[in-house]
Amino acid sequence: MLEKWKKYRFLFEELVKRDFKTKYKRTVLGMAWSVLSPLLMLLVMRLVFTHFFGRGMNHYTTYLFCGTLLYSYFTESTNQGMTSLMSNAAIFTKVNVPKYLFLFSKNVQTLINFGLTLCVFFLFCVLDHITFTWKFVLLLYPVVLLMVFNVGLGLILSALFVFFRDIQYLWGVFTQLLMYMSAIFYTIDGYSPMVRNLFLLNPMYLFIRYFRKIVIEATIPSVWFHLLLLADAVFVFTVGCAIYKKYNTRFLYYV
């Protein structure tokens, strides 16, 4: 694995640079859109939902920002990962290179965008009078696992997209539904214990909930919560790797 990395390091770095240049090509604000996009989404959601869900809730803007921050990273990473193979077909059909490099380069680009927005998020925390504690260091745990989760899901989606182009439309509908099921703009406190437990089946809710517990509640999630997050990320990543390994040679016949 290390030898492969050394061999294709230059290609990987060039792919990341190309993805950045392509994304912001012919835009006036350039990389600023990485920050503005989630902020505009946050503004819209705040204007729409504050009256209905945020009344009487402390730090509702930060509560919303936690959800939009992580969910935007998730959707951007998986949407770009899904088309990573097809958009680079002209390269790997002519040159024998590891196909997962194209997906990894997309994820590095979206991770950098996420990091920029995360800095703005911390600024919002200051403005919202959130107390910073040493527990904020633990936010690395869900960020790393979400990155692994996104890569694994990207491996699955990009492989499916090669064989079934309809997957992009189905994924768009699914992510829209998933957004409403992730408690981004509302709380689940009013639901019964059984319904609240069902939310734990949604990995995105777990990632968002972890952020909120650290940032807003200043509490560390339980051990089983950590294990549940780890299990989701490892499972999806393992399935993605297995699919790539099985269908790697067949991709060439469908692009």
Q: For the segment 12-42, what is each residue's pLDDT rounded down to a tens digit? A: 666 766 666 666 666 555 566 666 666 676 6
Distance CA 169, CA 60 (A): 32
Amino acid (1-letter code) at residue 25: K
Q: Are 19 and 106 in contact (CB under 8 A)?
A: yes
Structural domain harbouring 105: 49-253
| Crossing angle between the packed helical segments 100-127 and 2-23, to the nearest 10 degrees | 60
> Residue 1 domain-assigned?
no
> Residue 9 domain-assigned?
no
> Residue 240 domain-assigned?
yes
> Residue 118 domain-assigned?
yes
> Residue 100 domain-assigned?
yes
Q: Quote helix, strand, coil % in the chain, to nearest 5.
A: 80, 0, 20
> Residue 237 domain-assigned?
yes
> Residue 134 domain-assigned?
yes
Angle (CA) 82-88-92 rounded to 5° is 120
Strands (E), the chain: none
What is the average per-residue pLDDT within 54-66? 79
Q: Are 255 and 85 in contact (CB under 8 A)?
A: yes
Q: For the segment 111-155, what is each residue's pLDDT rounded down to a tens digit? A: 988 988 898 889 888 888 898 999 999 999 999 999 999 999 999
What is the average per-residue pLDDT within 50-78? 82
> E strand or H helix at 78, and its extent?
helix 60-82
233: helix, coil or strand? Answer: helix
> E strand or H helix at 89, and its extent?
helix 89-92
> Residue 104 domain-assigned?
yes
Burial of 126 (0-12, 13-18, 19+ CB in 10 A): exposed
Q: How many domains does the chain have?
A: 1
